[in-house]
Amino acid sequence: MTTAIIGTGGLGSVIARQLASGGETLRLSSADTESARTLAAQIGRAAVVAVDNRDALRGAGAVVLALRFTVLKGVIAEIADPLTGKLVVVPSNPLSTDAHGNVTRVLPEGQSSGKVVAGWLPTGTRLAMAFGTMSADLFESASNRSPEPAVLFYASDDGRAGEEVERLIRTAGFEPVKAGGIEQSGRLEVGGDLHDLVVGPAEARSLIGGA
């Protein structure tokens, strides 16, 4: 199946490599296409570079918006029409980094990225907050763990989105565990109790229950 990945930086490139190694076909897009081209060359035949963000969605059933929170709203507005009917996966934490590398939270405490992004999406899209629950390095090293797979938590209000993101999570080499609806997505984000955890399914389910 085909998934679009918009944003091929630190996290998007790792997600793309993991999905491609699990058999997914990818359409890649980035701000100036250079990083998307470099990544597509590394991945090989499973990845093509789209002309622009809208073109990335052509023929894709799902899109991962691997973008910094501060550019998400603008990109969603740019691709709003072709987003209809697709699974939208968002890994973004509500953070901003200044020119000196200082990281600050851009939403008030208690307000999650998931809740805000849900309000930006056009009607008819299916949102899952996923793939941003651990650092890119940890994501890469914890994938395809054996004998017990590591868990990737996700949050969604939509049953079909849940099934679709679970397929992507398995393709990337993890076991999916739902933390709850979008109102639970703060638990997955930076500062949340489920962020940056590498756990197996049994521990994951007990953590969910223990909220």
Q: Which residues bind ligand NAP (CB under 6 A)?
A: 6-12, 29-32, 34-35, 53, 66-69, 71, 75, 91-93, 95, 132, 135-136
CB of 150 to ligand NAP, least distance (A): 15
Q: Among residues 105 and 205, whose Cβ is nearest to ligand NAP?
A: 105
CB of 11 to ligand NAP, least distance (A): 3
CB of 38 to ligand NAP, least distance (A): 9
Q: Among residues 74 and 202, whose Cβ is nearest to ligand NAP?
A: 74
Q: Among residues 46 and 190, whose Cβ is nearest to ligand NAP?
A: 190
Q: Among residues 70 and 206, whose Cβ is nearest to ligand NAP?
A: 70
CB of 68 to ligand NAP, least distance (A): 5
The string of DSSP letters for 39-55 reads: HHHHH-TTEEE-SSHHH
CB of 147 to ligand NAP, least distance (A): 26
Q: Among residues 119 and 159, whose Cβ is nearest to ligand NAP?
A: 119
